[in-house]
Amino acid sequence: MDATAASEVTSPNATTSNYRNLAGYERLSRLMNSDNDFLVFRKFGELNVRNILYLQDRLSDITEKLAREDEKPDPKPGTRRWDDNRTRADLLQNAEGLLQRYSKAI
């Protein structure tokens, strides 16, 4: 066994040395994985910012709608557990998922 073959067998990245026989994403992924200097990915910065702005707008809309619902008389003040206001409950439920996505995005 020559030195090159021996290094391929003992190398922790032995599978990456065979990337030349592959094509497409499989070849690219093996090449990129072969060295940390090759691990370069796009951040999609502008698209991420647009997504955050979109989520902010949706959350602002929910906030305004909740404020209007909160202005309505509440037959059971001080508790939301037995809140019969289905609109408020739906708004809060919608906000929950959006807030999770928003928090993760920022």
Which is nearest to 82 in space by CA: 90, 71, 74? 74
Q: Are residues 49 and 34 in the same domain?
A: no
Residue 98 has a pLDDT of 97
Q: Are residues 22 and 56 in the same domain?
A: no
pTM: 0.63
Q: Are residues 12 and 61 in the same domain?
A: no
What residues have CB less than 8 Å from 106, skipping those under 6 apart? 52
Which residues constitute the domain of residue 96? 45-105
Residue 81 has a pLDDT of 66
Residue 11 has a pLDDT of 47
Residues of the chain with pLDDT under 70: 1-19, 75-83
Q: Are residues 67 and 94 in the same domain?
A: yes
Q: Are residues 78 and 27 in the same domain?
A: no
What residues have CB less than 8 Å from 31, skipping those under 6 apart? 16, 19, 38
Q: Are residues 16 and 64 in the same domain?
A: no
Q: Are residues 7 and 30 in the same domain?
A: yes
